[in-house]
Structure 1
Amino acid sequence: MSTTELDAAGVTDPALRDAYTRCRALNAAHGRTYFLATRLLAPAQRPAIHALYGFARMADDVVDDPEADATPPAVAARLEEVRARMRRGLAGTDPRALVAEGEPVVAALADTVARYGIDHRHLEDFMDSMAMDLTVTDYPTFDDLARYVHGSAAVIGLQVLPVLGTVVPREEAAPYAADLGVAFQVTNFLRDVGEDLDRGRVYLPRDELAAFGVDRDLLEHGRATGRTDPRVRRALAHLVARTRAVYRRAERGIALLHPVSRPCVRTAHVLYGGILDEIVAADYDVLRTRVAVGNGRRAAVALPRLAHAVGARWRHRASA
């Protein structure tokens, strides 16, 4: 991580600086769209966002990328170890001690949570959803999915909201931040149908699929043959349209954020929404391939907003 970001954030301890740098590396390696958007934040905000991402990635990897010979009970035990380490950090353990014990991500998380007063409940809810992935393989309805999505996505928006800042009381902006997290997550579900099937999971509600004559067997057949049934295409088109409505609802909250943060969030909103465009452009062929927003579009979206972000920072400094 650049010393400019750490200096701007007031992170002076060498051990903590190393911890935040580790989180930034995780974000850069695994969250391309998310990482690009964070570049539009003020330097002082970026380390906290990287820390929150780094911890989420660490927990998610326990569930989605376990060791080849790991049994389900072993994976569950490892996830609970992550929760215990998280709780120890949030309880006030000196972050420098955590770094010395080989816990740089937890150290950066604990420091960020303390700096911004982030509600510990959001972290607990996140861990609850990660645990659900170990036992729940599909969801009958959107209502059933809601509990999972709250912990896996909505609370991510609520975690980052204190870092982004608002021009209204935080509780007024919170529902929109949660909606944006949900929109991002459901977009991932639609993009990753094939990969999730390989893990034995279906995140698209059964009743929504059944309305179009789709079930798990049909999805698995498409994954095995590389052919997407017309019924699957129709179901996915319906779910894409439903997800776009969540994006539209969440967009109203961008104006409630601190001006310095708006270019970043709007960029993430557009780029993640662009994944839905790519799904449509691929004729909903998500069982065989994993669509992505190309680098050209990323640049076309991000570069104009970079100018807005720089301008917002200067205006904020001038008015301070």
Structure 2
Amino acid sequence: MTGMRLGQGLGGRELDAAGITDPALRAGYLRCRALSAEHGRSYHLAGLLLPPAKRPYVHALYGFARYVDDLVDDVSPTLTPQQRAQRLNDWIEEFRADLDWGTTSDPISRAVIDTIDRWSIPTGYFSDFVDAMRSDLTVTSYATYADLERYMWGSAAVIGLQMLPILGRADDGVRWDVLEMHAVQLGIAFQLTNFLRDVGEDLRRGRVYLPQESLNRFGVDRDRLARGRVDESIRNLFAWEIERARSLYAASAPGIELVHPTSRDCLYTASTLYSGILAEIERADYDVLGRRVRVGNVRRAMVGINGARHALAARAGRTTPTG
């Protein structure tokens, strides 16, 4: 506990490298880092490949997103749905007021507001994110992929856009709008991967994120998914959506070379590990209704070690083959 208070250990060294010295601010960043390490294994590993001075800000963005998502998904029996909605709405309104004031007593919001100020991140991205999270309290399905895309703008695309100022451009010749396009594609690819991995878990929360038009295409309905038995129609549905996600990973790939060289291995590792979940779903014969598939520890370690080797070379001004 003392180490966490004083900001010792790797997290403390990252804060030192970033020049973050205020004790209360350090505590907020460390809280976000802990959320990242606990809940975002692939993202956290990828974030560790960034230069130490940039890591706290990425942890803050992930920690904020995770904290709000947990508020939405809290199914504690001590809370009624109305109380849960009221708690989320109160927190969102307080956060928006804190954004306007530029200060807060909330440790997670404190780290995020500092990140926004240091990197001049548009605050509209955060408003769009919390609006998407709030919609999860009332919206339980999406008729078309276009409808789902509008949700994913706030739940995923804006997170990629929040990251861009921290990742940086390869050089001044890189067009910002092109970089933004690829960031949106990658963010949505990550989100679609989450939806496929978590179909069973989301269903138990009363939500189906796969578009109804896709379900209709393969003769699948919510009751069929709820039975938990993966049949040929469900396999075809998942295969269709996996190809959609893979096309987005492919479209986003050129954007990795457009960010600063010291940021590329973070994105490459995150994309490799997350897209690997799609292969794991296929390996499980699409049986994700009753369990969560994940990339194995050996594969995760191999990708992480390879990324670390490239990242260290990039920081030293050298280049190594990607792969």
Report if TM-score (shorter chain) is over 0.5: yes
* Deviates most, 63-72 or 120-129: 63-72
Report matched runs for 1:229-268 at 5 Å.
Answer: 229-268=231-270
1:211 and 2:217 aligned:
yes
Q: SS of the counterpart of 2:78?
A: coil
Tell me if 1:90 matches 2:123. Answer: no
Change (3 A) 1:92 1:310: farther
Cα deviation code 1:144-193 (max 9, x no counterpart): 11111110000010011111111224332001011111000000000000
Residue identity opposite 2:185 in structure 1: D
Which residue is equivalent to 2:135? 132
1:198 aligns with 2:204: yes
Measure the CA separation in 1 of the matches of 2:313 and 2:160: 25
What is the SS of the residue equivalent to 2:262? Answer: coil
Q: Secondary structure at the match of 1:243?
A: helix
Letter in 2 for 1:121: G
Please tell me the root mean square deviation across aligned C-alpha atoms, in Å.
1.2
The 8 Å contact of residues 262 and 315 in structure 2, kept in 1 or not, is answered as: yes
Q: Distance in 1 between matches of 2:136 and 2:96?
A: 20
Partner of 1:29: 38
Q: Distance in 2 between matches of 1:172 and 1:73?
A: 42
Contact 2:51/2:262 (CA < 8 Å) preserved in 1? yes
What letter is aligned with 1:209? L
| In 2, Cα distance between equivalents of 1:284 and 1:204 | 14
- Equivalent residue for 2:279? 277
> How far 1:68 moved relative to its partner?
1.6
What is the TM-score with the length of structure 2 in the denominator? 0.92
Shift of 1:67: 2.6
Q: Alignment partner for residue 161 of structure 2, among 150, 158, 162? A: 158
Cα distance in 2, alignment partners of residues 41 and 82 from structure 1: 31
Asked if the contact 1:90/1:113 (under 8 Å) is kept, the reply is: no
In the TM superposition, structure 1's runs of 4+ consecutive aligned residues that sit over 4 Å from their partners are: none
Aligned-pair distance for 1:119? 0.6
Partner residue, 1:307: 309
Q: What is residue 104 of structure 1 aligned with on the other side?
A: 107
Correspondence for 1:42 among 45, 48, 51:
51
| Contact 1:212–1:231 (CA under 8 A) maintained in structure 2 | yes
Deviation at 1:88, TM superposition (A): 2.9
The aligned counterpart of 2:4 is: none
Distance 1:70 1:139 in 2: 26
| Aligned partner letter, 1:173 | L
For residue 204 of structure 1, what is the amino acid of its counterpart? L
TM-score scaled to structure 1, two decimals? 0.93
Tell me how far 1:217 sits from its aligned partner.
Answer: 1.2
Unpaired runs of 5+ residues, structure 2, are 1-9, 319-323
- Which structure 1 residue ranges, 5 or more long, are not aligned? none
Identity in percent: 53
**1-side partners of 2:31 and 2:222: how far apart?**
39
Check the 8 A contact 2:51/2:315 in 1, yes or no: yes
Equivalent residues of 2:74, 2:84 under 8 A apart: no
Distance 1:2 1:106 in 2: 18
What is the letter of the counterpart of residue 77 of structure 2?
Answer: A
Structure 1 stretch displaced more, 39-48 or 169-178: 169-178
CA distance in 2 between counterparts of 1:260 and 1:129 reads 31
State the SS of the aligned residue for 1:186. Answer: helix
